[in-house]
Amino acid sequence: MNALYLVAGLGNPGKDYKGTRHNVGFDTVDLLAERHGISLNKAKFNALYGDGMIEGERVFLLKPTTYMNNSGIAIREFLDFYKLDIDSLIVIVDDVDIDFGAIRIKKKGSAGSHNGLKSIIYHLIDDNFKRIKIGIGNKHEGEDLANFVLSRFSKEDRITIDKAINYAADSVSMILKKGVDEAMNTYNRRDFNELSL
């Protein structure tokens, strides 16, 4: 079998969660699917998924339907069924600890406070997978974190986050075409106005 990639965007299923801060991973996978003509019309492995070609590579796009805190169940089932190595996995996830509207690409690392990443690391028994983090802002003092990540963006903030989602989708293409180091050098910066892609 040729090299395959699994690009998994994390989020919560259902219309009640559509457009929330926690669902920017889903939003990025939806954008990738739209750009590359991939239909997310298969329902198996506790997920919605589809496959197609991105930058000449065969890619599965996947959105777990387990709810965020059990994302690892779907990803483990999928990797096992297709006999994919952890090296083939790219996870797209929201992050409250990086600047709003920024993205950060990492080759591996801990889950931090993110329950979706915690679930993946728990089920894979490994944290050595690539992830693209999208900065969704941080809660106000005294605000409950769970309520914050399940809130929606203001109209103004939505413009900024949509740009970040576009950059996150672009970074997936760069990882596939030029490798993760090149993508990190390009996208792990504060000011996207400097980017000329």
Domain positions in the chain: 4-194
Q: What is the pTM of this model?
A: 0.93
Locate tokens 């089932």: which residue?
77
180 near 105, Cβ under 8 Å? yes
Q: What b/e string do you get for 19-40 counting C-beta neighbours within 10 Å, with b at 16 or more?
A: ebbbbbbbbbbbbbbeebebeb
pLDDT (tens digit, 9 = 90+) per residue, 16-73? 999 999 999 999 999 999 999 999 999 999 999 999 999 999 999 999 999 999 999 9
Tokens matching residue 191? 């000011």
Residue 108 and residue 13: Cα distance in Å, rounded?
A: 26
Topology, domain 4-194: Rossmann fold (3.40.50)
pLDDT (tens digit, 9 = 90+) per residue, 103-143? 999 999 888 778 999 999 999 999 999 999 999 988 777 77
Rg value, the chain, Cα: 15
> Is 123 one of the catalytic residues?
no
Catalytic residue among 22, 36, 114, 140: 22
